[in-house]
Structure 1
Amino acid sequence: MLFPCLHRFVRGALLAGLTAAATQVVCAAPNSVEDFFKNPQYLGVKLSPNGQFLAASAPGDGRMNLVVIDLKARQGKRLTKFKDADVVYFDWVNDNRLVFSLGSLHEPVGARKRYGGGLFAVDRDGKDSRVLVPTVQAAIDAGAYVYRMSAFLARTRETSDDIIALANDRNAKNPDVYRLNTKTGRKTLLTLENPGEVQQWIVDKDGVPRAAIATDEKLKITTWWRSGADAKWVQLGQYDLFEKNLLPLAFGYDGTLYVTSNLGRDKYAIYTFDPERKALKDLVFEHPDIDLGGLGTGEADDGGLIFDPKTRKLAGVRYDADKPGMKWFDASWSALGTQLDQALPGRFNAFRPPQEGSSQVLVFSYSDRHSGTWFVFDLAAKKIEEAVSMRSWFKEDDLVAMQPLRFKARDGLEIPAYLFLPKGSAGKKLPLLVNIHGGPHARADYWGLQPWGALESQFLAQNGYAVLLPNFRMTPGFGHQLFTGGLRQIGKAMQEDIEDGIDELVRRGLVDPHRVCLYGASYGGYATLWGLVKTPEKYRCGIAALAVTDLELQLTSTRGDTVYSDEGSYFWAKMVGDPSKEAEALRAVSPAFHADRIKAPVMLIFGEADIRVPLEQGEKMKKALERAGKKPEWIVKEEEGHGFVKTENRVDMYTRMLKFLDQHLAPAASN
């Protein structure tokens, strides 16, 4: 069976009523552990430029493979049959051809990293496939000593088989921009004049590289601009790591440069920019609670900018605050957004204007209790049809609200968070699990039924536990003060933010202070163990997955990948401490050296092949706990890395986690 659930398309209603068409889905099932942690039915759905086909990744052979759905014929075709990697990125080259890259949906680094990478092209009928760049493993097998990567950057405006791509052919560390023919593999260099050390390129609507963000080994950020393909590069600004900055985002159809900046303010906002005068012009959009475009570490996304290919103007800005939102500048698109919100209430309905020559709009509709459904809206016929869903087996009534929460840390800093309360509970004196995100310099938790934090939290809430997702200091996206407030505060103020969130819920009467447990992976695993060390009386148990337990070892061990990156080593030295100069300070906040302080039961979870946090970190903590007379529950999965790829391993892990919690945090079933 090609697809896990067959969707029966039903004709949509007229826009006057704009009632979403019904879709019958044959795959009803209770919310088992596997329901929460198996692969989605569809992911990353994209509409072809002419609006007649959908591309998506979907399960097959235990992996997420590339499929194309013909909307008129209501037929799907699987284009790839990978068994060792997932199709993690894809895009349309034109109406007939796609490009894609491989990776691992559940494991960003680890045993299977070598099976990822590459750049491939294929026609939508599955024919004329081409390996444009091999995977890491294929390059190794061919005797390559340096991996030459390539990645999709932009589609060309004219109809052709070319794309604008990144490739590190000239410099292994820093990519150039090429025009790449996906049929022949022929490349044309577009950045012969390269300002140097560029990590991020921004092309204009004609595919010309005209802005760049460069980063040296000390992570000093330099931004560049040029007026055209043959013009000289002009430096716009230079900033130190963790310093406020200004970063290019995108070019409008008229050549306007859009930037994001937090200079003179706490949160990144979007502006137009005059590169000749090197001065901000008009404020395009700002939000009081979140950054727009800037990621805090010298990187930028597209700022959520949405352009209309037909009017050739900026149509709106999409953003992710406590809940997602849209700011439309175009009245017609704003009106359509309002109509969609009325037809699909309680959800965020994301869409963008169609390509020139098409009247089809792809709408992604989701909420904190609805994993997401893609609709196709025909502007000309004024009708909307449901296409495919991400996880149709969930019923909204079985899930709980993802409640935005703000609380004050002890130093007055406001900490954003999310709260999940068990369905049907009185909301008083509940057992609490604090779900601590990884990174720590990553915003991992967004409103919606997303993997990791939100999906885990729904699973735990279904089983009777309140769950807190705190965006503690060092989390990017919520302003410069919150992000840089975490510098040199690992095990200190960063940990106290978690404690203060718990105390706030106790003050509100929501949580039983004697039934609190910590859980997290990667940095979250570290914070779990350090919480048990720092305030042992506060917690009933801790579940630490993929956890750093010895900071000095993590930053110096040749078994991991951190030591092999000059930039990574410098970043961590600045953020937590330099192991060559501050070893004692790092040991002072490393759980493996303080296992004797831990009172609560501990579960340790590791991947045998993890290269981000090597197994030695877990083994050292396990031995330290055993020496202290506190044998932990120990889970190690072979051939798994920094995240578990195999569904059976994820299901086993969460099943054992739930049993551990029911044993130590009070059985939810008996409450």
Structure 2
Amino acid sequence: MNLKMKWWSPLAIAAAALIGSVQSAAAIATSAEASVPTAEAFARRPAIGSVDVSPDGKHVVAVISPDGKKRVVAIWDTADMEKAPFIIGSDDERADVVGAQFIKNDRLFVSTQQLRDFNPFTGQRERSFLQRSLILTLEGQPARTSLQFDGLSDTQQAVVGVGRLISDLPQDPQNIIVADPMRGDKYRLNLYSGRAERIERGSERFSSEIADMNGDIRAKSEFDFDNGAAYIGQWLKHPDTGEWAEHFRYYARDRQPIEIAGFSNDPNIVFVSKTEGRDRSAIYEYKIRERQFGDVAFAHPLFDATGVVRSRAKADFGEVVGFAYDGERPRTFYTDPNLDQAYKDLRQALNITTVPVSWTDIETGERSRFSVGDGADISLTATSDDRSVIIIAKSGPRVPPEYYILAGGRVRLLGRAYPELQAATLGDTTLIQYEARDGLMIPAFLTKPDPAAYGAGPYPTIITPHGGPWARDNLSWDVSGWTQYFAARGYAVLQPQFRGSQGWGERLWRAGDREWGRKMQDDNDDAARYLIAQGVAAPDRIAMHGYSYGGYASMMAAVRSNNIYQCAAAGAGPATIALFKKGTFNSRFLREFQHPTADGEDPLRRVNEINVPLFLYTGDRDTRVLPAESEAMAAAMRSAGKPVKLTILPDMEHTLNTWTPENFASILTSVETFFKNDCGPGGL
């Protein structure tokens, strides 16, 4: 197995032509007729992503894919954006670039992944992916380094590369801090001399170490037991003595995490996220010397607060300039007036308009309204230290990601992630709520096809529950393609945020405890009935399609009596809850944190009750939900004389980030074919 990556920097490569064509695509789109996009248009590697700007603002880096299959690194000179980007590629066909960022003005931290059939750490054959990190110069050459993690062979070191980035030390012109991903040792690495110095040994007792912006590790977590009760204790370094001490803890059984959200310039104050006594998490000030919580630094009235945004500018280095929260999509509330105004100006410049959403608070039942982007919105994804150069991402449910650069007072398009979709007619997505049969309000994202092409409805409809189940969807671009691919073909698609979903408050999350296949499943059915009542869904043309936990839900959909679905498609779903329970039981923390919540119905044990056709698909490399789950379900259905189809996709792991374009396209087309040909009388 070749674990070394060879890099080159050819300037004459098709990527330059691609980026140029993407920038001029608007003129092409205005003259092109809207068409139904192909599966390949959704399935391709994004033409551009992972965009970052150097601290001095002189260069921009991105991961691009000219052909939609292979990804390379592109670097632009911001002083001459008309010039073709400098390309850094690899001659190893099995290795793929997945991320790039600046760690110094002339040094890049690059992440790659590669298919493997052998695990060099266990010595066992394992069909999975390896992840690697490396440091490159602007010329595409590996930076010199003497880094060698203790106990690793040369082959193992080649797999992990330079390890995990802990801090890019923004005020240090030469060094960064990285961690050995196996042992947890921390190293200060000089990016120019190559010298690596271990500054802290890893510990079996502590984990999740957090460094401040100066690279000082000031927080870490400890997993332990208190009279048999598992807990995570948060340790902090004293600002005066440097001594470590536990300051607060949360017990797994209580499911109320207390976590460090960020540091402040005051060495005595850290920001802490917690939900204790609230339905949604807030960020508090915590005083280390006094060992006490202070005021709420930030809380959103409807959504979870998630993080702290700090400045890297010399004038106000380290000052808090905003707070992150999970709204209808990840958002930032800017407390810095200049950044807030820049954000507002850029929204206007990029034609972002808003629409109101009527909302019922899931905990209190109180009614309110807030505004969301109409089809798209923006985020400021990177800035130079002086904020003179800003990278902006514009995206939304019907707008695939577009990247812009603000430099010299001018905003210009850098590239579009899915250029082939620009001329496509995509559906409108709205954030809605519906009432479950027991009165609980359930959020959902509804995508309807273009009425000019498909009329006012009702439409054939797909209910698409997310994975997790402790997860959620967002009002953003769906990288799986599952919403817009089908909306462009005349389907309505609903993504229910059923009870058990995280990110919508404690009440909705905890309402899913021990309700697998029961009330969680009722929420999905109630979504379908709501759409029928609204005239959106044709009552005899409804299906379910989900993946992972959503795949389990789709299996259970086929079991329901008086079935509202004509068929179901289940991707990589567990056929029994036992698989999930085993994984959570084997973790000493999850045994108390999540294991007790996973209880309900097993589709494999209710095969005789299945009353609609079922399509099963999974990846042959899936190590999270083994292919044996889908195979066992298919075998049991065949034995019971139930209509079932099974597809095993080659070289496919569980998570989307490992999927090939062929995996994506195959899922889209095979599910579509199943819906057309096998879903009830006459198809969906």
Does residue 83 in structure 1 map to residue 83 in structure 2? Answer: no
Match of 1:94 in 2: 104
Counterpart-to-counterpart distance in 2, 1:524 and 1:121? 38
Counterpart-to-counterpart distance in 2, 1:282 and 1:563? 38
Match of 1:66 in 2: 73
Does residue 367 in structure 1 map to residue 390 in structure 2? Answer: no
Structure 1 segment 303-314 matched on structure 2, within 5 A: 303=307, 305-307=309-311, 309=313, 310-312=315-317, 313-314=319-320
Report the CA distance between 1:519 and its aligned residue.
0.6
Q: Check conservation: 2:238, 2:289, Cα contact below 8 A.
A: no
Match of 2:377 in 1: 348
Match of 1:440 in 2: 469
Report the CA distance between 1:601 and its aligned residue.
0.9
Match of 2:373 in 1: none
Q: Name which of structure 1's ranges 116-125 and 395-404 shifts more when overlaid on structure 2.
A: 395-404
Structure 1 segment 171-182 matched on structure 2, within 5 A: 171=183, 175-182=184-191
- The SS at the match of 2:399 is coil
Match of 1:257 in 2: 270
Shift in CA distance, 411/5, structure 1 to aligned 2, threshold 3 Å: farther
Shift in CA distance, 329/555, structure 1 to aligned 2, threshold 3 Å: closer
Shift in CA distance, 467/140, structure 1 to aligned 2, threshold 3 Å: farther
Counterpart-to-counterpart distance in 2, 1:250 and 1:496? 39
- Relative to its length, the structure with more strand (as a share) is 2
What TM-score, normalized to structure 2? Answer: 0.82
- The SS at the match of 1:337 is helix
* Residue type of the alignment partner of 1:120: L
Shift in CA distance, 619/349, structure 1 to aligned 2, threshold 3 Å: closer
Shift in CA distance, 567/245, structure 1 to aligned 2, threshold 3 Å: closer
* Residue type of the alignment partner of 2:596: K
Q: Name which of structure 1's ranges 617-626 and 84-93 shifts more when overlaid on structure 2.
A: 84-93
Q: Check conservation: 1:3, 1:41, Cα contact below 8 A.
A: no
Match of 2:596 in 1: 574
Q: Check conservation: 2:72, 2:97, Cα contact below 8 A.
A: yes
Shift in CA distance, 111/600, structure 1 to aligned 2, threshold 3 Å: farther
Q: What runs of 5+ residues in structure 2 fail to find an aligned partner?
A: 1-12, 353-375
Shift in CA distance, 493/315, structure 1 to aligned 2, threshold 3 Å: same
Q: What runs of 5+ residues in structure 1 fail to find an aligned partner?
A: 11-20, 294-302, 578-585
* Residue type of the alignment partner of 2:427: V
Counterpart-to-counterpart distance in 2, 1:414 and 1:131? 55
Structure 1 segment 254-653 matched on structure 2, within 5 A: 254-255=266-267, 256-293=269-306, 303=307, 305-307=309-311, 309=313, 310-312=315-317, 313-346=319-352, 347-351=376-380, 354-357=383-386, 359-378=388-407, 381-395=408-422, 398-424=425-451, 425-443=454-472, 445-452=473-480, 455-535=481-561, 537-553=563-579, 555=581, 567=589, 573-576=595-598, 589-642=601-654, 645-653=659-667
How many residues are treated as equivalent by the alignment?
A: 622
Counterpart-to-counterpart distance in 1, 2:44 and 2:148? 28
Q: Name which of structure 1's ranges 460-469 and 406-415 shifts more when overlaid on structure 2.
A: 406-415
Match of 1:13 in 2: none
Q: Check conservation: 1:224, 1:235, Cα contact below 8 A.
A: yes
Counterpart-to-counterpart distance in 2, 1:58 and 1:324? 24
What TM-score, normalized to structure 1? Answer: 0.83
* Residue type of the alignment partner of 1:307: S
Match of 1:581 in 2: none
Q: Check conservation: 2:63, 2:73, Cα contact below 8 A.
A: yes
Report the CA distance between 1:79 and its aligned residue.
2.2
Q: Name which of structure 1's ranges 58-67 and 419-428 shifts more when overlaid on structure 2.
A: 58-67
Counterpart-to-counterpart distance in 1, 2:631 and 2:264? 53
Counterpart-to-counterpart distance in 2, 1:501 and 1:275? 47
Counterpart-to-counterpart distance in 2, 1:100 and 1:229? 37
* Residue type of the alignment partner of 2:622: D
Shift in CA distance, 276/229, structure 1 to aligned 2, threshold 3 Å: closer
Q: Check conservation: 1:252, 1:314, Cα contact below 8 A.
A: yes
Counterpart-to-counterpart distance in 1, 2:147 and 2:652? 25
* Residue type of the alignment partner of 2:187: Y
Q: Check conservation: 1:38, 1:647, Cα contact below 8 A.
A: yes
Shift in CA distance, 187/261, structure 1 to aligned 2, threshold 3 Å: same
Deviation per residue, 1:93-148 (Å, 9 max, x gap): 2011111222379xxx999875422321110111234688899xx9788479x989
Q: Check conservation: 1:308, 1:315, Cα contact below 8 A.
A: no
Shift in CA distance, 143/49, structure 1 to aligned 2, threshold 3 Å: closer
Does residue 158 in structure 1 map to residue 171 in structure 2? Answer: yes
Report the CA distance between 1:498 and its aligned residue.
1.1
Counterpart-to-counterpart distance in 2, 1:176 and 1:340? 42
Does residue 188 in structure 1 map to residue 197 in structure 2? Answer: yes
Deviation per residue, 1:176-197 (Å, 9 max, x gap): 44322345654434445x8864
* Residue type of the alignment partner of 1:70: D
Deviation per residue, 1:218-242 (Å, 9 max, x gap): 7622112113496111212111225
Report the CA distance between 1:397 and its aligned residue.
6.6
Counterpart-to-counterpart distance in 1, 2:147 and 2:471? 29
Report the CA distance between 1:563 and its aligned residue.
8.2
- The SS at the match of 1:534 is coil
